[in-house]
Amino acid sequence: MFSYMRLDVCWLTHLMVYLAVFQLIKRESQSVSSEKQRENGGNMNSKSDHCETVLQETSSSDSNDIKILQDYIHGFVASKVLFTACELGIFEILAESMTPLTSKCVAEHIGASINRTTCLLNACVALKFLEKDCQNEEVCYKNTELSRLYLTKTSCKSMLRTMIHYSNEVFPAFMLLKDCVRQGVPLCRLTSESKGNDCFKHMYRSEESILQFMQFMDSSTFLFGKEESISTFDLSCFKTICDLGGCTGRLAKTCGSLYPESSIIVYDLPKIIQVACEHFTGGDSKISFQQGNFFEDPIPDADLFILSHILHDWDDEMCLKLLKKVYMACNPGGGILIIDAVLNEAEEGPAIIHLQNVVMQMICDGKERTATEFKTLLVTAGFKDIQFSTKGIITNGILARK
């Protein structure tokens, strides 16, 4: 009984305090707003008048801003339309057909509803992935040059695998962006069981996910312009080249064709080397494979080390550990070629690299870096004569010497 009474008294006291504070805030805001009205020459007769004035004043610039926001609001819808059209094989079906196809015909091919397929196809037309063509008074659809080149499986420039990886791995991960930001950890460590795991343990959780990631990496070589970053520099003086974390060996093949005098070692985790040899290598005699963990196991000696999209997977401490190890294994007069995106010094752009940075922070402990941050890492590890190239599409080449 006594404790109930105490609870009631407490509750009443709290209520009174809240009411008092509420009155205070109300009075405060009333006096601030009348102060503002006085400052504005008494023009703001009411709240709605004020809104009307603001609307009239800014209507022309509003439409621009709203358009930008509308584009961002629907950004993920555009991505998902693209991913879904890829997953349903729409670009493939249209590429294989001798003539443009009606939406009914496409829907039959993919076993889907005609209405929804038409809606998806029309969105693809609006996004310039498809074109409409009238055949015998029927609306038909065909691929644009863009989708023929980049979204069909058989094209040598195909990015289909990138779309599939983003759809299956990256898109679902972004449902948890808020949690990753709040807790300051990547997705693979959001659950306490996976504490201490690196992102590759998570990414390589099954044979299927390994193959999917490797196919994505293979096609991203083209997407990110990694090959351009290699061809910018004259690397002919380096006779032994080690591509650390070389994955499928795609970049090694480019190196091999650019520098036929050089021999190239692709170094990666055992599982990856195994899959690379089974599914990706084209029997190039100048390329050999070595398996190991570049943090824990020995790495081969070489004249040049290539680290393509490696440093952005790790924090500064891990990057320094790896760079120091590379420095020790690098032959005298040798060098290191880093291929990664570079943020501008003020860290205000390019926007696409900031978005990429969010992806990196979501899926691993890495980050995109500025030129100064790369220089600091390289100099601390012992490297000198640092040169930057900006030839890649969204990646840069950074060459430094021992």
Ligand X SMILES: C[S@@+](CC[C@H](N)C(=O)[O-])C[C@H]1O[C@@H](n2cnc3c(N)ncnc32)[C@H](O)[C@@H]1O
Task: Judge whether 128 and 81 are in contact, CB under 8 Å.
Answer: no
Q: Is 337 helix (H, G, I), strand (E, B) or coil?
A: strand
Q: Total residues at the site for ligand X (CB under 6 A)?
A: 18
Beta carbon nearer to ligand X, 303 or 313: 313
CB of 267 to ligand X, least distance (A): 6
Residue 78's nearest CA partner among 195, 167, 202, 206 is 167
CB of 266 to ligand X, least distance (A): 9
Stretch that binds ligand X, among 55-63, 128-136, 174-182, 266-274 (CB under 6 A): 266-274
Stretch that binds ligand X, among 76-84, 154-162, 253-261, 303-311 (CB under 6 A): 303-311
**In 15-146, where do the E strands start and end?**
130-135, 138-143
Site for ligand X in 224-263 (CB under 6 A): 226, 245-247, 251
Our finding on whether 273 is near ligand X (CB under 6 A) is no
Interface residue with ligand X among 268, 340, 368, 373 (CB under 6 A) is 268
Beta carbon nearer to ligand X, 147 or 395: 395
CB of 242 to ligand X, least distance (A): 11
| CA–CA distance, 101 with 138 (Å, rounded to integer) | 9
Our finding on whether 161 is near ligand X (CB under 6 A) is no
Q: Is 50 a catalytic residue?
A: no
Query: Exposure of 64 by Cβ count < 10 A (0-12 exposed, 13-18 middle, 19+ buried)?
Result: exposed
Site string for ligand X, 345-364 (x = CB under 6 A): --------------------
Residue 293's nearest CA partner among 241, 245, 364 is 245
Interface residue with ligand X among 129, 141, 166, 200 (CB under 6 A) is 200
| CA–CA distance, 11 with 25 (Å, rounded to integer) | 21
Our finding on whether 303 is near ligand X (CB under 6 A) is no
Which distant-in-sequence residues (6+ apart) come within 8 Å of 299 by Cβ? 242, 244, 267, 292, 325, 326, 329
Stretch that binds ligand X, among 178-186, 230-238, 289-297, 371-379 (CB under 6 A): 289-297
Beta carbon nearer to ligand X, 123 or 203: 203
**What tokens does 172 get?**
């679902």
| CA–CA distance, 260 with 239 (Å, rounded to integer) | 9
Residue 374's nearest CA partner among 399, 351, 394 is 399
| CA–CA distance, 246 with 217 (Å, rounded to integer) | 10
CB of 117 to ligand X, least distance (A): 35
Site string for ligand X, 202-221 (x = CB under 6 A): ---------------x---x
Helical packing angle, 75-87 and 47-73, nearest 10°: 20
Stretch that binds ligand X, among 76-84, 256-264, 278-286, 290-298 (CB under 6 A): 290-298
Beta carbon nearer to ligand X, 89 or 300: 300
| CA–CA distance, 180 with 314 (Å, rounded to integer) | 16
CB of 360 to ligand X, least distance (A): 9
CB of 340 to ligand X, least distance (A): 9
Catalytic residue among 165, 202, 309, 312: 312
Which distant-in-sequence residues (6+ apart) come within 8 Å of 200 by Cβ? 269, 313
Return the active site residues. 312
Residues at the site binding ligand X, with contacts judged by CB under 6 A: 200, 217, 221, 226, 245-247, 251, 268-269, 272, 293-295, 308-310, 313
